[in-house]
Amino acid sequence: MSPRSRRAKDEAPGPSGFLVVDKPAGWTSHDVVDAARRWFGTQRVGHLGTLDPQATGVLPLAIRDATKLVSYVNADPKVYRGAIRLGIETDTLDGDGAVVARHEGALPDEAAVREVLQTFLGEHEQVPPMYSAVKQGGVPLYRLARRGEEVERAPRKVRIDAFTLLSYAPPSLEVEVVCSPGTYVRVLAAEVGARLGCGGHLASLCRLRSGPFDLSQAVAPQALADEAERGEVAARLLRPVAALGMPALKLTHEDARRVLNGAALPQGGAVRAPGERVAALDPTGALLAILEVAPDRRLRPLRVLRRLAARS
């Protein structure tokens, strides 16, 4: 067992749940995770999808036993608002990179911009940028990029549900993007510039939504640090059941005991299709387990959470 695993195992129990941080520009996602570990006094903190250091907005975190639920939270869709700067290309595809090309001619008009944005709707393949955390051979691509290396990257399927032009004041356009998880808006910005024939890069980005979490729930790190100092930060944790978006089923003491022992339960009065998932609550209303409807229509434990203490 690693030293970190031993420390986590030896920790006193504490509040669990989800926290939505309004990530500031200049912070990495790992910076936010490290800060949350201090706020809550635990090593057991994880994020539900990174943001680039330049980006701001919604960064959901899982605290303590809520880390066991990350894979069950539907992070689709992602919603972003950003600015694309036409006429300048950078090596990182955003404003933090070195300029690699400048367009000297006239910039496209608004009608051309709107037309190009619509060509991105639907599913298509996107190649991850070299400056990204995607690993190749166990090495993050950004480390290779910093050494001046460029390698072949396998394209990934992404989905763009909406790509809306909010304003256009050449050379800058403000856009809103609704997309699938795993979409790089930096790549979209560069592709917009390429299709318009003038090049471009992502000048700024704010994530407005990540699945069930949105900007109205997000709190700035300084406010969270102040609340942690006063012992009030636990009140910011969001209910796990609400984040999961599953139907809830409150169990009797006997059924809760059976679930803890790995036994399946009958569906009772509800009729659910195989593969459907249910959030099982213990008699106090605390989240106990994730159940899944098996082919025989019984509810089988998929993930049991023995110590989850957050409100449900």
Degrees to nearest 5, angle at CA 286 with 77 and 244: 10
Strand partners of residue 47? 61
Chain center to CA of 8? 23
Q: Which two tokens stand for residue 6?
A: 């031993």
From 10, 22, 31, 52, active-site residue: 52
User: Distance between CA 8 and CA 246 in Å, rounded?
Assistant: 28
Is 52 among the catalytic positions? yes
User: Which one, of 58, 52, 53, 34, lies nearest residue 44 by Cα?
Assistant: 34
Strand partners of residue 301? 291
Place of tokens 């049991």: 304
Contacts of 211 (CB under 8 A, 6+ apart): 48, 60, 73, 74, 75, 76, 77, 78
CB-CB contact of 183 with 126 (8 Å)? yes
Give catalytic residue positions.
52
